[in-house]
Amino acid sequence: MSKIIPESGYKATFNKITAALLLIDIDAPSYTILDVNEAYLLATNTTREALVGKSVFGAFPASPSDEDAKNIKMTINSFEQAIQTKTTHTMWDYRYDIPIRGTDEFEERYWTTSNTPVLDDDGNVSYLIHSPANVTELIKLREKEIASVEAIKNHRQQLYATFMQAPVGIAIFRGAEYIVDLINPTLCGIYGKTVDEMLGQPVFDVLVHIRGQGFDQLLDQVRLTGVPFKGQAYPASLLRNGRLETVYFDFVYEPYREIDGTISGVIAVATEVTEQVTAKQLIEEAEERARLAVDAVGLGTYDLNLEAGEMITTKIFANIFGFDEPVPWADYVRVFHPDDLAAREEAHAAAMRSGRLFYEARVIWPDGSVHWARVEGKVYYDAGAKPTRILGTLLDITAQKQAREEQEKLMALVADSEQLLRNITTAAPNGLWMSDEQGKITYVNQTWSDWTGLAYEENLAEGWLKAIVPEDRQRAGETLLKSLNGRSLYEAEFRIHHIDGTKHWCVATGKPQYRGDGSFSGYIGSCVDITEQKNLQQQKDDFIGIASHELKTPVTSIKAYTQVLERMLLKKGEAREAGMISRMDGQLNRLTSLIGDLLDVTKINSGKLQFNDRDFEFNDHVKELMEDLQRTTEKHILIADFHPTGTVFGDKERIGQVITNLITNAIKYSPHADRIIIHTGIKNEEVSLCVQDFGIGIEEDKLNKVFEQFYRVSGDLQHTFPGLGLGLYISSEIIKREGGRIWVTSKPGEGSTFCFALPLKTNI
């Protein structure tokens, strides 16, 4: 029989029970708290006084989390349900944060609360037992569990994604048929298939052509023995993109073990290394080619192990040293030319420091012949910077050496001849120069520099013109360009500022030069200091000028006396004596004429021949002159063959002098003829005059010389004809200065025709 618990005992039970309980009146909407037990006060951090007699919603105002949880609405709803159904209504796992006493903070709490109606005797609901259970821990635990499940799921997905996206090919083949259980696109790509084509199929059914290449045996071996297989640069023939290709793999076959340890398949991990293999093959081929090339150019190669003192050499290396086959290092060293051993030692010592070996040395072959070898090499060092090895090449440079020696000899010869040439040009008493095809000076010799005081460089291009006095400078430069354009001989006279402080006269000449291919390359020329000649010439001209002028004075008085005497004698009637005096006067006229010629020549030479140009009737003037001259000869008849000429603009006296000279000559040189024809006329804008004689004529080779200064008829007739040989020279100079031309045609024994032509010009 069990103990009877007194009524107060239930009260105690109510207070001591661990479940939090709250008794609530059903006086909606207030739902006044009727009582509360200790557990409740503990769970909610409140006091009895704060709760009893208060509305449940007033005692527990909305907490911050209510907004979302809508706890009040839910609680009212639960109360109503319980009252209505008269059965317990439970609110599961809702959040209701409670205040932390003494602070404004709230603590996160989860609750499962039941509202149980208590019926009165009539069966009506009297009040509700409100019992919240703190399920916070439980809820937290459940959340963690969900989170970890989710994480595992994510992890698995990541793994799968990694597997599918892996740059290495991965697959699992199951069973003896090697059905593709799993395969990633990378491996499918290697196989040239799609994932769909592969999945669930026996691998050798899909890749038919791979059967018999040894992979099935390898898979069997791994599956049956459990020993993994690793293949490197393993070749396989695969049908890809419709072509059978040889591809290379690095791969691993791992056994696939079930949980119980049994092997149910094979995991394959593979990467394609075709490119690397191909690249390696290319490198090997390149190396082979390089080796062949080295052999082809006769390069010997060597590998010298400095620690062991051993040297590996190629056959060509041995051949260059005069051996048929490679020999030990010491044997090679022995055949070096004794004179080159020191240089070799030096080169080796230097190589240890610089890392590069280079020297050229002679070797003596067994037959005694001497050959040159060039040794090149690279030094290799160990971690302690100690040289351990030299790798390099050997080249027979005997032919090169010989060629170089020849070249050096030639160069020495060229240098010698250059020096010789320089010495000659420096020693030359003349300036020497060269120009390019544009007329720019490219060379002057030391003599020119010595004259002008201009350094070599200062003369280059147009620099040389600085040496020339300003009055002559432009003409000197222009003459060169003019000659250059015509590719003709250059000749110019000019004055230079000589280093001695005076002006020196120079005559420069140059000859056009042509290259081997015939193209014009410029000028080479010289320059002669003619100051001395010029001075002498000047002195001569001055002397002749003064002398002839001084001669005129006595001649003038003699002539005056003679003429007075002639007149006196005539007046006295002494005709014979007067005649003699008259002939004396004639000789005086000849003397005057000679003096005049000499004076004219000095004027021409010094450029002082003066012209007094004006218009005159040409034919009239010729006629007057002919009349005068006709009086001097009884033997010849001067015949006029005139055509209209009109007026000529020129120096009447000087042109008359020319006509007189030509007619006088015609008379003089046709002693056996009786007529001289003078032709005039206009042709091609020129007024021309020709004096035709029928005399002795001129040899053809002398024709052009007759207008030269001091030219005289040579040979047998030399002494027959008097004169200084100046007349035609003066005539040609006068005509040239008047802008005309003078010429002669002649036939020995038949006569000569001297002509001149003047351009038709009038005084504007």
Sites of contact with another protein (CB under 8 A): 549, 552-561, 563-564, 567-568, 588, 592, 603, 610, 612, 653
Give the residue with the Cβ less far from another protein, 243 or 571: 571
Angle 81-84-85 from CA coordinates, rounded to 5°: 80
What's the sign of the alpha-carbon dihedral 187, 193, 198, 203?
Answer: negative
CB of 548 to another protein, least distance (A): 9
Separation between Cα atoms, residue 625 and residue 225, nearest integer Å: 146
Cβ atoms of 232 and 250 within 8 Å: the answer is yes
Residue of 116, 117, 115, 66 lying closest to 94 (CA atoms): 66
Closer CB to another protein, 503 or 603, in the complex: 603
Q: How many CB atoms lie within 10 A of CB 39?
A: 18
Nearer to another protein, 91 or 599 (CB): 599
**Which one, 557 or 720, has the nearer CB to another protein?**
557
User: Nearest to residue 191, comparing CAs of 175, 173, 217?
Assistant: 173
Helices 652-668/618-630 angle, 10° precision: 40
Q: How far is the CB of 594 from another protein (least distance, A)?
A: 12
Name which of 447, 449, 450, 492 is nearest 473 in CA terms.
492
Q: Secondary structure of the chain: what % helix, strand, coil (to 5)?
A: 45, 30, 25
| C-beta closer to another protein: residue 240 or 603 | 603
DSSP strand E in 385-540: where? 387-396, 431-435, 441-444, 490-497, 503-514, 520-529
Picking from 103, 100, 99, 133, the residue whose alpha carbon sits closest to that of residue 115 is: 133
List C-alpha distances in Å: 349 to 387, 388, 445: 11, 13, 50
CB of 585 to another protein, least distance (A): 9
DSSP one-letter code for 19: S
Nearer to another protein, 498 or 654 (CB): 654
Phi/psi of residue 365, each to 5°? Answer: -80, 165
| Count of all residues that appear for the chain in the document | 764
Cβ proximity to another protein: between 565 and 760 the closer is 565
Residue 673: its H or E element: none
**How many CA atoms does the CB half-sphere of 185 hold within 13 Å?**
7
Tokens of 734: 């006068």
Q: How far is the CB of 490 from another protein (least distance, A)?
A: 34
**Least gap, CB of 538 to another protein (angstroms):** 18
**Rounded to the nearest whole angstrom, what is the least distance from the CB of residue 586 to another protein in the complex?**
11
Q: Tell me which residue has tokens 């006509």.
A: 659
Please report how close the Cβ of residue 761 comes to another protein at its closest, in angstroms. 21
The nearer residue to another protein, 396 or 651, going by C-beta atoms, is 651
Least Å from the CB of residue 478 to another protein: 30
The Cα 250–Cα 252 span in angstroms is 7
Please, what is the minimum distance in Å from the beta carbon of residue 563 to another protein?
A: 4
Q: Which two tokens stand for residue 557?
A: 């008085």
C-alpha–C-alpha distance, residues 154 and 462, integer Å: 92
CB of 549 to another protein, least distance (A): 6
Quick one: how far is CA 235 from the chain centroid? 49
- What are 235's strand-pairing partners? 248
Q: Which backbone phi and psi does 516 adopt, to 5 degrees? A: -55, -35
Q: Between residues 235 and 579, which has the closer beta carbon with respect to another protein? A: 579
C-beta of residue 724 within 8 angstroms of C-beta of residue 682: no
Nearer to another protein by Cβ, of 564 and 639: the residue is 564
Are 698 and 748 in contact by the 8 Å Cβ rule? The answer is yes
Closer to another protein by CB, 246 or 557: give it: 557
E strands along 4-76, which residues?
A: 22-25, 33-36
Residue from 375, 376, 379 nearest 387 by CA: 379
Closest distance to another protein from the beta carbon of 682 (Å): 30
Which lies closer to another protein via its Cβ, residue 116 or residue 592? 592
Yes or no: say if 60 and 50 are a contact pair by the CB < 8 Å rule: no
Shortest reach from residue 653's CB to another protein, in Å: 8
Give the tokens for residue 44. 């909610």
DSSP 2: P
Tokens of 527: 């320059």
Spatial CA neighbour of 40 closest among 25, 10, 60: 60
- Bridge partners (DSSP) listed for residue 239: 244
- Cis geometry, peptide bond prior to residue 671 (ω within 30 degrees of 0): no
CB of 689 to another protein, least distance (A): 23
Expressed in angstroms, the distance from the first to the final Cα of the chain is 176
Q: What is the DSSP letter of 360?
A: E
Minimum CB separation of residue 568 from another protein in Å reads 7
CB of 725 to another protein, least distance (A): 22
Identify which of residues 472 and 597 has a Cβ nearer to another protein in the complex. Answer: 597
Q: Compute the distance between CA of residue 729 and CA of residue 662 in angstroms, rounded to an integer.
A: 11
To the nearest whole angstrom, how small is the minimum distance from the Cβ of residue 550 to another protein? 9
| Minimum CB distance to another protein smaller for 308 or for 564 | 564
Instruction: Single out the residue of 434, 416, 413, 412 nearest to residue 424, CA to CA.
Output: 416
Least spacing, CB of residue 624 vs another protein, in Å = 15
Cβ 561 to another protein, closest distance in Å?
5
Give burial (CB, 10 Å; 0-12/13-18/19+) of 504: buried
